[in-house]
Amino acid sequence: MSLTVVGSIAFDAVKTPSGVRERMLGGAATHFALGASFFDDIRVVGPVGDDFDEDAWRVLRTRGTITDDVEHVPGGKTFFWKGEYHDNLNSRDTIETDLNVFEGFEPKLSDAARACHVLFLANIQPDLQRGVREQCTGARFVAMDSMDLWIKIARESLEATIRGVDCLILNDEELELLTGKPTVLAAAQEILGWGPTAVVAKLGKYGAALYTAEGVFAVPAYPLETVVDPTGAGDSFAGGFVGYVAAQRDEDITHDLLSTAMAYGTAVASFNVEAFGTERVEQLTAGEIAERVVDLQRMTSFSAEPVALRG
Amino acid sequence: MSLTVVGSIAFDAVKTPSGVRERMLGGAATHFALGASFFDDIRVVGPVGDDFDEDAWRVLRTRGTITDDVEHVPGGKTFFWKGEYHDNLNSRDTIETDLNVFEGFEPKLSDAARACHVLFLANIQPDLQRGVREQCTGARFVAMDSMDLWIKIARESLEATIRGVDCLILNDEELELLTGKPTVLAAAQEILGWGPTAVVAKLGKYGAALYTAEGVFAVPAYPLETVVDPTGAGDSFAGGFVGYVAAQRDEDITHDLLSTAMAYGTAVASFNVEAFGTERVEQLTAGEIAERVVDLQRMTSFSAEPVALRG
């Protein structure tokens, strides 16, 4: 039993107010795996090229992540992304996107990858996501990410894919765009009617919120004095969140279980943004994650004892 | 003993995706008083003109708010603001601002208003705020709001005013602008070095965060399916927040007390935005506030029991 993730493996070049990196391991599946590897055996499905060197394999295999399903495309080059963040880190410009081996990517799952008990579909073309989902018939929890591009150019396929998963994870603006609803709550309620039992709104530096039939849960981002590189924060969050669910294999996947999973995802993501790329999460320890989860609980607790009010 | 608020009393004309109102009671002091009136005796200090009619007085006096210090300027007109919100309610255009009697406003406090035990300085010119603060020598808790305009054109005066209060309440972007720091946490820590013992970051639809020497507390906005009119949400929040503190007159003003106050402010603000202007908060009951405070506690609670992690 293991957690399978399908998505991009990339080299990133990133410039932020804190500095520059010309080439470091990135991609949604990478950031997800680094975070999820604290919780379960992770199998990564995604393509790489001839330039995928020993150091990249080493990083991807952090904490035992299984790379048997990483497809090496001979003669190909690994997906490359170059981006630059603006002063407040709220927005970024993409300088260059070379899809390379990712362009013709058709996920091929080994029997072991198909036999996963939990599946995460990182942001790729929704037809491909749906194809993978349909192969993993034994998965007890399937979560997916997406992006505004697919909402705009492949809405029908995206909706069909969403109908087949347990949990949709999107930015708040994407949820509103997808549903045409004016608030995240209304958007999430709409999507809960399509099939998923859980919707997670990623709120960037403001945290994340969970919506299920049982209600709403919200957790703030872990407060940091400096954010070095936000790249991969959402995928790190998903890694901690989905990883936590995968680790609780004997528990029912309830609203409360997912709420705790949100706190783990938030903790993992907070370390991701403290350094460029995977630099911080590579070095991360289980104890550091647990500490921030406890911190988050303290930072959100308050007394609701009744007080006398007028009127 | 009472809670004094100094700030604007206005007529607002507002257009949002939910509808239009051509003239309704607004202004920071109004929204603050409506929220705070659940907690304590409120004294409002601010100017109005000849056009301030019986209905406006009635609304302002909701739940017993004392209007003896409202200055009627004979021959003058009440401050008027007209604004239009865009589709997602995240931004608005000001169509018209007629300062009218607010232009030459110099706060005059009666002995009773000066004798307040808690003081809220709504967003007005910082010299005026400081003048009021210096008159209220017996106040055990003084909080203030401000805006980007004063950061840009009266920074020195604003800083001097901030140094004299217990609690600064600002939007996250304004906190970053004021301090030149890249994150709200870094900005808040800078300001805690100036004198205030508490900094509150208003995060709009994402909620609010509190920073003290004891740490950070964060609370999400109360989730709503529809937001009708965001005008006054920040002042309603301040009303609930500062009002709660005022009501706990025998308690030490600790991080924990302020955290609960944040939940009350959040609850009050959530009602404010459910209808235009003061329409919803006029009709609000204490029981409804208490219910949302309990809801907020449930929506932010999670188990942080240790789990086995790898690595």
In the prediction, which pLDDT does B305 show?
85
Instruction: Give the H/E segment covering residue B22.
Output: strand B19-26
| Residue range B68-97, pLDDT digits in tens | 999 999 999 999 999 999 887 878 999 999
In the prediction, which pLDDT does A310 show?
86
Measure the CA–CA gap between A28 and A140, rounded to whole angstroms: 22
In the prediction, which pLDDT does A48 show?
98
CB atoms closer than 10 angstroms to residue B251: 10
* Pairing status of strand B3-6 against strand B118-121: parallel
| Residue range A228-239, pLDDT digits in tens | 999 999 999 999
| Residue range B169-195, pLDDT digits in tens | 999 999 999 999 999 999 999 999 999
Q: Distances from the Cα of A241 to the Cαs of A169, A237, A251, A283, B7, in angstroms?
A: 10, 6, 15, 19, 45
Select from B2, B61, B85, B302 the residue whose CB has the most chain A CBs within 10 Å, as the one to mutate to test that interface. B302
In the prediction, which pLDDT does A223 show?
98
SS3 A19: strand
User: Tell me, what's the ipTM?
Assistant: 0.95
DSSP string, B223-264: P-S-----TTHHHHHHHHHHHHHHH-TTS---HHHHHHHHHH
Confidence of residue A311 (pLDDT cuts 50, 70, 90): confident
In the prediction, which pLDDT does B133 show?
98
In the prediction, which pLDDT does B141 show?
98
Q: Looking at chain B, which residue has its C-alpha nearest residue A183? A: B225
What average pLDDT does range B21-34 have in this prediction? 98
Residue A309 has its nearest CB partner, among B184, B262, B290, at B290
Q: Measured between beta carbons, which residues in chain A are less than 8 angstroms from residue B303?
A: 256, 259-260
In the prediction, which pLDDT does B91 show?
85
Q: Report the gap between the CA of A260 and the closest CA in chain B (Å).
A: 5
In the prediction, which pLDDT does B7 show?
98
Q: Do A293 and B304 count as a contact with CB atoms less than 8 A apart?
A: yes
Q: Do B260 and A302 count as a contact with CB atoms less than 8 A apart?
A: yes
Q: Do B309 and A286 count as a contact with CB atoms less than 8 A apart?
A: yes
Q: Do A185 and B227 count as a contact with CB atoms less than 8 A apart?
A: no
Q: Do B306 and A284 count as a contact with CB atoms less than 8 A apart?
A: no
Q: B298 at the A interface (CB within 8 A)?
A: yes
In the prediction, which pLDDT does A219 show?
98
Q: Do A182 and B17 count as a contact with CB atoms less than 8 A apart?
A: yes
Q: Do A218 and B207 count as a contact with CB atoms less than 8 A apart?
A: yes
A 192-211 residues with CB below 8 A of B? Answer: 203, 205-207, 209
Q: B218 at the A interface (CB within 8 A)?
A: yes
Q: The pTM is what?
A: 0.97
Residue A260 has its nearest CB partner, among B205, B256, B303, at B303
Confidence of residue B308 (pLDDT cuts 50, 70, 90): confident
In the prediction, which pLDDT does A159 show?
98
Select from B300, B301, B305 the residue whose CB has the most chain A CBs within 10 Å, as the one to mutate to test that interface. B300
Report whether pLDDT(A9) > 80: yes
CB pairs under 8 A between A and B: 163
In the prediction, which pLDDT does B209 show?
98
For chain B, what percent of residues have pLDDT higher than 70? Answer: 100
Sign of the dihedral through C-alpha A197, A236, A263, B167: negative
User: Could you tell me where the beta strands, DSSP code E, fall in chain A?
Assistant: 3-6, 10-16, 19-26, 42-48, 70-72, 79-85, 92-98, 118-121, 141-145, 167-171, 198-202, 208-212, 215-219
Q: Looking at chain B, which residue has its C-alpha nearest residue A290? A: B306
B 146-165 residues with CB below 8 A of A? Answer: none
b/e map of A202-234 (b: 16 or more CB within 10 Å)?
bbbbbbbbbbbeeebbbbbbbbbeebbbbbbbb
Amino acid at B227: V
Q: Distances from the Cα of A90 to the Cαs of A174, A279, B148, in angstroms?
A: 16, 21, 19
Report whether pLDDT(B271) > 80: yes
